[in-house]
Structure 1
């Protein structure tokens, strides 16, 4: 079996989801994760292989999950993150956060994010 280029695989997944994510612009979505190579979480330094495994695992749990790169939307303060969002758009942040509650996901692991190109201010609603 040939080794997987995880960086290229992540980009391919984001490219596949790009048009669906674009159709959610202006809507609030539940954000489930944001990771990148070099990020340290609980003492573990993530690499692209770990991020890809995480994306695949989340897709197994949430079949409508979409992958995007935060550099593509100015509603994210930090670029270069691989962000997983639920593929359902909501008209309010409260509704997106209610989806997180209904799934039983903790407040640190799921919150409302508006997919937009108008800057980061006002586009994140923590629970």
Structure 2
């Protein structure tokens, strides 16, 4: 996991001034979607998303202040589409066009 996060850091830096879309956020031990998530299942989900969206990347939530500024726990691995958008509305449109609901895909603006 950490190796993938490190490999994707440079791509994530390119998303700091634009919107992208968050496709998933998971952490080991999380109970969601009928399972308990592990490092292996999180990495597996990332690989599935990467196969579908070649620009997808994996980031560690605590590296970005947008995941912690509301006081919420930020200790999640976050999967981003890596697509770039000028506005949050355009990012939402991408989510809708790709068949995602508002609970499964959301616009994010990474901040450090």
TM-score, scaled relative to structure 1: 0.79
Q: Secondary structure at the match of 2:13?
A: helix
1:43 Cα offset (Å): 4.4
Which residue of the partner structure matches residue 35 of structure 2?
44
Which residue of the partner structure matches residue 54 of structure 2?
63
Select between 40-49 and 26-35 the one with higher mean Cα deviation. Answer: 40-49
Alpha-carbon displacement from aligned partner over 1:49-106 (angstroms, at most 9, x marks no partner): 1111111111111111111000100100332211111112212100111111111112
Which of 65, 77, 81 pairs up with 1:74? 65
Which residue of the partner structure matches residue 34 of structure 1?
25
Aligned residues: 108
Gapped runs of 5+ residues in structure 2? none
Shift in alpha-carbon separation, 1:57–1:75, aligned structure 2, 3 A:
same
User: Counterparts in 2 of 1:1-127, with a 5 A limit?
Assistant: 10-77=1-68, 78-117=73-112
- How far, CA to CA, are the matches of 1:35 and 1:64 in structure 2? 19
1:36 Cα offset (Å): 0.7
- How far, CA to CA, are the matches of 2:10 and 2:109 in structure 1? 16
RMSD: 1.2
> 4+ residue runs of structure 1 moved beyond 4 angstroms?
none
